Amino acid sequence: MDNLLYEVKGFVGILTIDRPEALNALNRNMIAGLSALLDEIAVSEIRCLILTGAGGKSFVAGADIGEMADLNPEQAEKFSIEGNMLMEKLENLPIPVIAAVNGYALGGGSELALACDIRLASENAVFSLPEAGLGIPPGFGGVQRLARVAGIAKAKELALTTNRVKAVEALSIGLVNAVCPPEGLMDEAMRMAEKIASNAPFAVKAIKQIANESVGVPLVKASRTEARLFGDCFATGDQKQAMKAFLDKKKPEAFTGK
């Protein structure tokens, strides 16, 4: 985990990919380290995670091409599976994840951002799936997730052309939630994370699960998942005290996650 920095502020975790000399490109050791760290975060007390890259130039400039170049087909398939498993772990983390994209998010960087729940981009952010220019398709779920947020035609266009998308266009196609000045990106991410963390943890977890499990699922089936998780929240003390406070016209106490 030499290239990963992790700190906690209140109920918010901040995970920084720290390999600026390589524009924070992902190698296999970093993928393994991220996966292990996410396992620890999943059982911690934090309620929201911010993911960003060190330095002002790059969020993550893809996977490490030098490490990939000489892989044989079997090794390349294994590398893709490892990357996909990391993206799935990030996507299914029981807390919301905010990507604070500060510069280049190319290839694996775009895929990493797409696996997060919310994406905030600095004005200098650039997204791209450039893999076709290297003789390969995106290997960490980029086409699939981009199709879900921007539509399949746009996902095909960007992957097939390898065109780069700047922050303003990324906002217009739904790839990011907001665009911020570079100097204000982390402040905005922290404000959003703290707002999320101030809400009832069981409800926040349920909302993320409902959203994730609704993709590609018939509405009736998705609504049953919603009803089950809705009901589960009525077994929590947070629900009871918050609703009582509402009825008593009082401010609810801080949520405990119990």
Residues counted in the chain:
258
Question: Could you give the CA distance from residue 125 to residue 254 in angstroms, rounded to a whole number?
Answer: 36
Q: Please check the confidence at residue 63 and state whether its pLDDT lies above 90.
A: no
pTM for the whole thing? 0.95
Buried b (16+ CB within 10 A) or exposed e, 76-107: eeebbeebbebbebbbebebbbbbbbbbbbbb
From the list 40, 67, 131, 183, the catalytic residue is 131
Q: Please check the confidence at residue 222 and state whether its pLDDT lies above 70.
A: yes
The CATH class for the domain spanning 201-247 reads: mainly alpha
| pLDDT mean over 69-94 | 96
> What is the location of CATH 3.90.226.10 in the chain?
4-197
pLDDT band per the 50, 70, 90 thresholds, residue 125: very high
Q: Please check the confidence at residue 39 and state whether its pLDDT lies above 80.
A: yes
Q: Please check the confidence at residue 64 and state whether its pLDDT lies above 90.
A: no
Residues 6 or more apart whose CB falls under 8 angstroms from that of 195 comprise: none
pLDDT band per the 50, 70, 90 thresholds, residue 10: very high
User: Is position 111 annotated as part of the catalytic site?
Assistant: yes
From the list 7, 77, 111, 157, the catalytic residue is 111
Q: Please check the confidence at residue 90 and state whether its pLDDT lies above 90.
A: yes
**Residue 1's pLDDT is what?**
67
CATH of span 4-197: 3.90.226.10
Q: Please check the confidence at residue 57 and state whether its pLDDT lies above 80.
A: yes
- Helices 219-233 and 201-214, interaxial angle, to 10°? 170
Tokens of 165: 């998308």
User: Is position 74 annotated as part of the catalytic site?
Assistant: no
| pLDDT mean over 46-59 | 95
**Residue 175's pLDDT is what?**
97
**Residue 56's pLDDT is what?**
84
Q: Please check the confidence at residue 67 and state whether its pLDDT lies above 70.
A: yes
Mean pLDDT score of the chain: 95
